[in-house]
Structure 1
Amino acid sequence: MWAWILIGAVALIPIILLSPVVAVIALVILITGIVALAKGSRTWLRLNSRKAAMVVTAAAAAVLLVTGSVSAAVLPNTGSSGNEAARFVTAPSPSEARNSDESSQSRPTPTPTPTPVASTRDEVVTEVVPFTETRVDDGALAAGQTQVRTPGQNGEKTLTYRVHLLDGQEVSRELISDVVTTQPVTQVIANGTYVAPPPPPAPAPAA
Structure 2
Amino acid sequence: MSTFFLLLLAASIVCLIIGLSDPQNFRKWFGQNINRKRIALIFGGLIVACFILTGAFAKPSSNKPKEESKPAATTQETQTPKVETKEETKTEEIVFQTESKNDSTLEKGQTKVQQEGKNGTKELKYKVTYTDGKETGRDLISETITIQPINKYSPDWHERTTQGLYFSTILWRWIL
Calculate the TM-score normalised by the size of structure 2.
0.45
Larger Rg: 1
More helix by share: 1
Using CA pairs below 8 Å that are at least 6 residues apart, which structure has the higher relative contact order? 2
